[in-house]
Chains A and B, each alone.
Chain A
């Protein structure tokens, strides 16, 4: 009797510890997802225009799941310490529901990250950057978002286009329709700008003299933060779910060993 009692005590201790970890990870998940949703790099308009912004949906789900994990971990600790069968059953069922939501978030983040290839951003940039005739209000909203975001990215990261300034030469674009090639081989935001925002040497920029224009592409500056977000949500969530799996199995075993 004494030995199995000790074994149960150890199991209780482990379950309480497991729930404490889940609670802390839940808070961390909420914080991480709030950080991503706040979009510190200002890349959301690009994703919105690709109509592929599900990694943001995954982050939103992550916020609520993290909070739910924290609350449920407290319930779990109380239930384990009181050895209360009803409380633990409620805990297990609610945890499984939260588990399902978090699974959805992880899989969504990982799947949609795979959609975000350079060609996707290239096509959207050519189609929408400085397009002059919007089809409708939604199109205008996306055009403004894409134009403002690209202007900001090109200046902040000293880059041009997705692969480089050659993108503007190799492909037709909405930009090219209103800006002729001789005056604008590439947008003026690809030029090295001075403090007032005008090119330091416009002729040098148009010629493509190194030092007067940005010769590298912006794909790394875009995909870096987006990848960090997608993998941050997906893998941290995956780690939490693996840990939660063991805690829930332990709780189920513990539950079946309680007698009224």
Chain B
């Protein structure tokens, strides 16, 4: 029974479920009875105030229900007309049964196409319902959906790029390198001071061997003997 059905955003995990100007609904499968197979099923998109005072006798395609005048001059428009043939029951397994509201951009400003499924003009919120029409007028309708809000885009200037800190690794690297370099410079200065004043060296420098002095020992004492006594 259609009057018990509430249109709802698709339950599939879709990346584009709501964008800034479109949204994706579940198709109303197995909602409308087969007796309505000759009727045309329309989607009504309205702002919340339009849902409250909705007059369902206004014909789809009439100026009061034109997409191009929404939301300034009219509080609801009707689009996505199709017959029950396109909503077969039961739904086949693995079939993606969705309706993308807002996908037709070619007729967006074409006043000869008041039933255009054009992009939504703002972030909403919006409420939708399905209505079945035949030659005598509206014959069945669903409940209104909950409010559907679309995404809002923020300007890129607001993105903060200055919240970068300095990582600990970088600080450690910088300080260690600075200390090492300072030590080397100190060493260089010490070297040059050494060189200039010639005071370094110490006792363990290696250099040419010293001249060896050899002491002669007279092992045999040769005296001037007086002539031997006879």
Contact = CB atoms under 8 A, between A and B. Distances in A.
Interface of A: 1, 4-5, 8, 89, 92-93, 96, 99-100, 103, 106-107, 110-111, 113-115, 117, 119-120, 122-123, 126-127, 165-166, 169-173, 176, 180-183, 185, 203-204, 206-210, 213, 215, 234-235, 238, 241-242, 245, 248-249, 252, 255-259
Given A123-B156, A208-B15, 16 more contacts: A96-B185, A106-B177, A107-B170, A110-B174, A114-B165, A114-B166, A122-B156, A170-B151, A171-B154, A181-B20, A183-B105, A207-B24, A207-B96, A238-B176, A256-B194, A259-B201
Interface string B205-224: 11100000000000000000
Q: Is the interface of A mostly helix, strand, loop or mixed?
A: helix
B80 interface: no
B153 interface: yes
A4 B204 contact: yes
A213 B119 contact: no
B103 interface: yes
A184 B69 CA distance: 24
B166 A257 contact: no
Interface residues of B, number: 57
A75 B170 CA distance: 32
Contacts, number: 160
Interface of B: 12-17, 19-22, 24, 96, 98, 100, 102-105, 118-119, 151, 153-156, 159-161, 163-167, 169-170, 173-174, 176-178, 180-181, 183-185, 187-188, 190-191, 194-195, 200-201, 204-207
A207 B161 contact: no
Contacts of B151: 169-170
Contacts of B161: 117, 119-120, 123
B184 A245 contact: yes
Contact of A110 (B105, B170, B204): B170
A238 to B, nearest CB: 6
